[in-house]
Amino acid sequence: MNSDSDLQIAGDILEVPHLLQAPREHPATVAEFAGLARAIAADRSEWEHLVRYDATTRWYHRLRTGPGYEVWLLSWVPGQGSGRHDHGRSSGVLTVLDGTLTERTARGTRALETGAQRVFAPGYVHEVGNDALEPAVSLHVYYPGLTEMPMHSARCAGAGAGAGAVTTG
């Protein structure tokens, strides 16, 4: 018996193709979508030259698409915000690339600094804004691709506000 493990492999494991999973071309799980966002965040050369700051409106650019998903790049100058909204039937991953954003939900307010990620389910109600003194940049992955963004008044803030958000980073 092997003291490290009871499992012993005889021969070349690469000769057993039915045990190996082919690498996926596109993400399919929450973890893979969060990983895609982290990989894009780490490669500043892919997105940094595209960022624009607009004092009159939030700037956004669709960075990438894949089967059923979209990746968006957004910039936020101080004072800009999204308004209270959800993302319809889409799930999402929000990743802060630069600066600090503030997220408000019925459960409270949290600062999201560079590298922070939020993973959320369909129907998750929140408001995101730049309350800092410096611009911010964020990356948003939506699955399925974003087709609606219903706005919510402040008095219905509790509807869906706790629906599946997870913070990473």
Residue 27: Cβ within 10 Å count: 21
Tokens standing for residue 91: 């799930």
Q: Which domains does the chain have, with CATH numbers?
A: 26-149 (2.60.120.10)
- Per residue in 109-151, pLDDT (tens digit) is 999 999 999 999 999 999 999 999 999 999 999 999 998 888 9
Integer CA distances (angstroms), 167 to 7, 19, 38, 119, in order? 37, 33, 13, 6
pLDDT in tens, 35-86: 999 999 999 999 999 999 999 999 999 999 999 999 999 999 999 999 999 9
84 Cβ neighbours under 8 A, 6+ residues apart: 104, 125, 126, 127, 151, 152, 153, 154, 157
Closest CA relative to residue 37, chosen from 89, 112, 88, 104? 112
Give this prediction's pTM.
Answer: 0.79
Contact assessment for residue 130 and residue 77, using Cβ atoms and an 8 Å cutoff:
yes
DSSP assignment letter at 44: H
